Structure 1
Amino acid sequence: MGKRLVVLLLLCWGLVAFAQSSKPFAGASLVFQWVEGTPLNSLMLQAGSYDFGGGFGARANLGIGVSPNFLELGADLLFPFGAGRLLPYGGVGGNWVGLGALNFFGVRGLAGVNYNTASDAGLFAEAVPTLYLASDATGIYGTAFGIQIRFGINYLF
């Protein structure tokens, strides 16, 4: 039940950011991730906004692991630097990765750049270093460091 509630809250976060913004987006990316040297590659779907208000944006994302199979849920606050076709941004956020019996709860920072190719599309690249707290059915057993490299496209509304 707890995981379903987290999924619902993250989806609501993304939808609120999407609905309340003058610059909402929805998109997908390829994610190349390494956690303590172990590769975890995925396809990520996301929704949010670069301009949620007050100089920051927000997004929620859902990742589906392809090598190996896993599920990832995350949410981020985005801080864009400037405006225009080339938009650098930073951010902070959190995520959960479910890998079989293992659960990784992460706190992450991010640095990225979005390039608006047309009035309705943007290409982006990001680096996302993450500190994970790892657990299984017996409890918490340690920390792990991970990094994601993301390449994707957003459809801007």
Structure 2
Amino acid sequence: MAPIRIKYRLTTYLVKMIILIFLPHESHGESKEYLNIIEYSLTLKVEKNSIKTNIANNSSKDIKLRKDSLPSSLLIRGINLSAYSDSEDLKPIGLFLPIGSNSDLKTIPAGGELSGEININKLINNDCSLLKKNPIIIFWRYSAQADEGILPATEGAIRVNGKDVSCD
């Protein structure tokens, strides 16, 4: 009697497993909002003492982002930066990144743009002495979570020369 009960339980277990494998299911580790990818473009360019950011909403919906998630934000949710001396050894340069958060919302209308800026003098300590030796290459990467989905990762690099920063 015991072997029949074991066989019955094993068979029941295997049938349940097969049914679960073939049933359509949704991942519970990922919410539905992550499935919606928002189209956007981001440009960064160096102007006198700052890095100008411009994010363009290429989607048909408004984008609502937290202020600490904007490309001009150096907080943990914002843009990720790393800097290197443009020399033979590509020596890394430490950046001063603030901590904190800002949950206020900023809206970028469909087809609209939002500009911001990052102060180079506050970002890089001793930037003038570093720039006298070599230009600085800043690699950037940006992605964000909005109300209606995600802005997928995009990345690039910019070069900061001595003429881009006033050393008074």
Q: TM-score, normalised by structure 2?
A: 0.28
Higher helix residue share: 2
Higher strand fraction (1 or 2): 1
Query: Which has the higher Rg, Structure 1 or Structure 2?
Result: 2
Query: Higher RCO, 1 or 2 (CA under 8 Å, sep at least 6)?
Result: 2
